[in-house]
Amino acid sequence: MKFFNREKEIKEVLSIIEGEPNLIYFIYGPINSGKTALINEIINNRLDKDKYIVFYFDLREIFISKYDDFIEVLFEEYDDDKSPIEVIKAIINDLPSLYGIPIPKNTLNEIFKKKTTKNVFRYITNVLMDIKKEGKQPIIIIDELQKIGDMKINGFLIYELFNYFVSLTKHKHLCHVFCISSDSLFIERVYNEAMLEDRVDYILVDDFDKETALKFMDFLSKELLNKKLSDEDKELIYSYVGGKPILIIKVINKLRYENLNDILNFMLKEETSKLRKLLIRIKNNKFEGIEYEKVINALKLFKENYEINEYLVDEDTKEFLVKRNILFLNPIEETLKPQSYLMWNAIKRVL
């Protein structure tokens, strides 16, 4: 499927990449809002391969529980006697991005033995400096960084990684660093981290606004159905699922073989059922420290409003509802909203 819209966000990311590395950038937003699709579009279709070399690490696909797991994510080992930059030059013309930093097998074995991030970061820095000497700009992108948020290696690994990224960007101006996350509690933790003050910036990739969502429906109906939807159908779809790209795609896909009203009613019924079952479990004290009345009162705030100030909900309830993907927290704007229009409709139906 062709990529749709996001030109504003693409322009912002490209303008950052074209400048000197200075900050760590966090790309955040609700679940399934299109963050990874945005980055893949930039990597695959918007970057000049003669100017940039991208290392893209997708942590969602990998189970990480110990030091060796983390190292395996970062590196791609090889056996011959070529230098890492020679390996990169040999393969980069055929690939938009690399999924590991090339490292000789013997060197990787030594790093595994020493079990210290100092040796890991020193090796990566040397490779990045060699890339710079070749006249190319290295870019590191880590998707779902929060997966190592609580992992410890002589202290929390995430803090060592942050310090290293600050060194690469603000101090050495060597490499652009982008971190992607749907975990808004993790973004809040980053936002409040004193060591990152004036060293980090944020790019929000939100669900589509109404105008863009309706255009997306036109785009999809032409691509997938080879026909045009009526304005009434598009308004109905938006009233159920809002501007969540993945949900709009799901609806349009199903229109090939199902009735629109049946599709939307089933989706809402399914979302409502999940929410109702969660509330029953809370009422039966299945979650320690979470009070049923506080959860109900928090959700009632959304009966008339799609977005509220985050401080209207106590911290424990807020954290619980965000972790359960009921609500999305924007710590920069200090707001809470349902993860989707579909969830908003479910909340209103349940209450």
- Distance, in Å, from the CA atom of 295 to the CA atom of 146, rounded to the nearest integer, reads 25
> Residue 27 in contact with residue 178, Cβ under 8 Å?
yes
128 and 235 co-located in one domain: no
- DSSP alpha helices (H): ranges in 167-244? 184-191, 210-220, 231-241
Per-residue confidence (pLDDT) for residue 114, from 0 to 100: 77
Q: How far apart are CA 177 and CA 56, in angstroms?
A: 10
Compute CA distances 61 → 69, 73, 78, 142, 314, whole Å: 12, 10, 22, 12, 33
Q: Look at residue 94 in the predicted model and tell me its pLDDT.
A: 77
pLDDT at 62: 77
From the list 36, 95, 41, the residue with the least C-alpha distance to 60 is: 36
Identify whether 75 is part of a domain: yes
DSSP 8-state code for residue 117? H
CATH value at residue 179: 3.40.50.300
CB atoms within 10 A of CB 338: 24
Please report whether residue 84 resides in a domain. yes
Same domain, 140 and 166: yes
In a shared domain, residues 174 and 220? no
**CA nearest to 302, candidates 270, 348, 343, 244:** 348
In-domain check, residue 264: no
* Residues 75 and 214 occupy one common structural domain: no
Same domain, 188 and 106: yes
Residues of the chain with pLDDT under 70: 1-2, 150-155
Report, in angstroms and rounded to the nearest whole number, the Rg of the chain calculated over CA atoms.
Answer: 23
Number of domains composing the chain:
3
Q: CA-to-CA distance for 305 and 227, rounded, in angstroms?
A: 35
Cα–Cα separations (whole angstroms), residue 289 to 233, 283, 319, 331, 346: 44, 12, 12, 23, 24
Cβ contact 36:119 at 8 Å:
no
- Interatomic CA distance for residues 127 and 322, integer angstroms: 39
pLDDT tens-place string over residues 233-261: 999 999 999 999 999 999 999 999 999 99
d(CA 82, CA 103): 10
**Residue 166 maps to a domain:** yes
d(CA 279, CA 74): 41
Give CA angle at 253 (251, 258), nearest 5°. 75
Task: Return the pLDDT at 180.
Answer: 95
The predicted pLDDT at position 319 comes to 97
Which residues have CB under 8 Å from 172's CB, separation 6+? 21, 125
Does 197 share its domain with 217? no
Structural domain that includes position 277: 271-351
AA letter at 125 = T
Same domain for 227 and 196? no
Which helix (H) or strand (E) segment is 109 a member of? helix 105-114
Q: Which has the closest alpha carbon to 176: 27, 335, 33?
A: 27
Are 318 and 327 in contact by the 8 Å Cβ rule? The answer is: yes
Question: What pTM was estimated for this model as a whole?
Answer: 0.93
Phi, psi of 227 (to 5 degrees): -155, 170
**What was the pLDDT predicted at 85?**
92
The answer to whether residue 103 sits within a structural domain is yes
Residue 1 lies in a domain: no
Contact 347, 308 (CB under 8 A): no
Give the tokens for residue 24.
């760590």
My answer on whether 198 and 116 are in the same domain is yes
Pair of tokens at residue 160: 């060592």
- Reference 32, options 140, 186, 144; nearest CA is 144
pLDDT at 150: 67
Answer yes or no: are the C-beta atoms of 64 and 161 closer than 8 Å.
no
